[in-house]
Structure 1
Amino acid sequence: MTYTQLVQPTINIGATAGWCLNYVDNAINATQRTSTAQIAHDQAKEKNWVHPNQDYPRNVWFVMFWSIDNGDYQGLGHVALAFLDGNNNLQIHDSEVHRNARKPYQSLSELANWFGSVGTQLTFLGWSEGVDGTKIIEEVKQAQSQTKKKGEVMILFKDADGKIYWLVGNKYTYVGSPDDLLRIKQLMEKAGFDTWEHTNQSQIKYLKKLAQLV
């Protein structure tokens, strides 16, 4: 999936130890601030923004969430901003990084080991499209293909009496006016079909045996 950046975070701002959500909220100028990263995660999950996997979007900043499973901060959660470039280089920024305690993490395990060094156990909950009411990325929807599907039939044919018919699947209908014919040809072109008016009478006779006039 491809994502586009809706809000460009101000990554290089200061932070305070233990105030991870405040750092992220300030970086994205969050509009609906909550009190803990765990609450922020739960609300983002309700909005279907959270993806509980490591299939990260590329070349955009996104949010990461963890639960804190023990110690004084148990139940409060942890949050960070992250970026994955086209060469699979990951950088994770949190309040620890921006209180100048360390450089950006380059993996989930590096972050887990940093917190684990003081006995804090984290569980990665997934990445998110936003936090605290602010969506910072959005999936780029692929335009639906208008090309013809395998097995579909759509042709124009001119009968012996000069009348033009439009065959779609196993049914055909009389094209009553030049304007109708033009609109039909435009539709067929968009769908990837040939707009040639077939005139081979033996082929037309065979088609009419198989198809139904409507």
Structure 2
Amino acid sequence: MAWKQLVQPNVAINETAGLCLQYAKRAFNNFTSGTNAWDAWEAAQYKHRDRNFPEGVAVPVWFDWTGTVKWTDGIWRTQRYGHAAVRMPDGKIWSSPLTGHGRAWFASVDDLARAFGGGMTYVGWSEDISGTRVTKDEGGDMPIPDADNYYWRYGVRLAMQVRGRELTREEFRQHIVGKTDLQVVELLSDDPEANVAQNWQEVGRVAVQDRWAEQIYRLQDQVAVLSKRPSDEQIKSLQSELDTLSKSAEDALANAEKARLEADAARLKNAELLAQAEADKQAGETVLRRIGQFISKYLPGNK
């Protein structure tokens, strides 16, 4: 890598203790206002969470620190302030002083953290500070910045394709920002999550090839049809009702046949009675004729 210094640093300046961000920004000719060092570290686009400092250039270095500080309004406030300093090409770390007004230098980032104390820890270095790009690698791949479009490309799209899930913005900042394209590919692929995602991709390929979706839908339709069929208990109940209806129907048919036979018998009996009555009538008329004939023949005065 060939690093180029875009802004020449000037660490021979003085600042008041507690105004570390102001000192680091002024050293790189940046006179913008800001809240605190931790917010500036969070906002840096070209962060490197490592100790692979570029050779031959000066860069901002950053620390995590939470403490209580007396503000210019006289009120003491406790919060996550962080700390900012400048690492020069010779490895010395320049910073605002621990007390009073002036500047201080330390042999390493660890020496600075120990000197300030209070649990201060080194977190990384950056190529920019409060919007000012101070150095750049012109001999290799550009490190990935902490920008929305890069987060979408690497933390969302590429991570989903390789890992099977999106990275959170914090994961992106911690593991991707400051890395090159090749480093990111290695980082994402050399991980158990990538192996799991690859297995799932193979399962998905087989699912598409064998048309699992169609098979599942067909089975669901079959289950739906089967679910509409009656249970054994329902079939037994329906059979019992059918047997009862069949018995009732048989009884009704038998009764109807009996009634028909009785009606036929009654009609036959009535016909016989009518025939007998007709015969009796004819016999009576015959007797009357004979009596009349007898009277006319044998009784006097009836000739």
What band does the TM-score fall into relative to the shorter chain? 0.5 to 0.7
Q: Which runs of 4+ in 1 moved over 6 A?
A: none
1:137-156 alignment, distance < 5 Å = 137-142=135-140
Q: How many residues align?
A: 132
Give matches, 1:60-139, under 5 Å. Answer: 60-72=57-69, 74-85=79-90, 90-96=91-97, 99-100=101-102, 102=104, 104-116=105-117, 120-139=118-137
Deviation at 1:2, TM superposition (A): 2.5
Rounded to whole Å, the distance in 2 between the matches of 1:70 and 1:31 is 25
Change (3 A) 1:101 1:136: closer
The 1-side partners of 2:65 and 2:84 are apart by: 10
Gaps of 5+ in 1: 144-214
> Relative contact order (C-alpha < 8 Å, sep 6+): which is higher?
1
Confirm or deny: 8 A CA contact 1:25 1:33 kept in the other structure: no
- Cα distance change on mapping 1:101 and 1:6 into 2, 3 Å: closer
Aligned partner letter, 2:127: E
Deviations 1:177-213 (A, max 9, x none): xxxxxxxxxxxxxxxxxxxxxxxxxxxxxxxxxxxxx
Structure 1: distance between partners of 2:20 and 2:26: 10
Which structure is higher in helix share?
2
Please give the per-residue CA displacement for 1:77-112, whole angstroms capped at 9, x wherever unaligned.
100010234xxxx1000111894464x101122112
Shift of the 129–101 alpha-carbon distance from structure 1 to 2, 3 Å rule, reads closer
| Matching of residues 157-172 of structure 1 within 5 Å | none
Query: For 2:39, what is the secondary structure of its paired residue?
Result: helix
In the alignment, the residues of structure 2 paired with residue 108 and residue 52 of structure 1 have an alpha-carbon distance, to the nearest angstrom, of 13
More strand by share: 1
Q: Specify whether residues 41 and 101 from structure 1 end up closer, same or farther in structure 2 by C-alpha distance, changes over 3 A only.
A: closer
Question: Which of the pair has more CA radius of gyration?
Answer: 2
Distance 2:26 2:88 in 1: 17
State how far apart, in whole Å, the 1-side matches of 2:140 and 2:111 are.
Answer: 35
Supply the distance in 1 between the matched residues of 2:138 and 2:129 (Cα, whole angstroms): 19
Q: C-alpha distance in 1, partners of 2:119/2:129?
A: 22
Q: Secondary structure at the match of 2:92?
A: strand
User: Would you say 1:36 and 2:62 are equivalent positions?
Assistant: no
**Conservation of the 8 A alpha-carbon contact between 1:31 and 1:132:** no
Q: Report the secondary structure of 2:97's partner residue.
A: helix
The alpha-carbon distance between structure 1 residues 123 and 132, as it changes in their structure 2 partners (threshold 3 A), is same
Task: Tell me the alpha carbon deviations over residues 19-47 of structure 1, each in whole angstroms, 9 at most, x when there is no partner.
Answer: 00111111212265321111110110xx2
| Within-5 A mapping of 1:22-33 | 22-30=22-30, 32-33=32-33
Instruction: Give the alignment's Cα RMSD to 1 decimal.
Output: 2.2
How many percent identity over aligned positions?
Answer: 30
In structure 2, stretches of 5+ residues that fail to align are: 70-77, 142-303
Structure-2 separation of matches of 1:7 and 1:74: 31
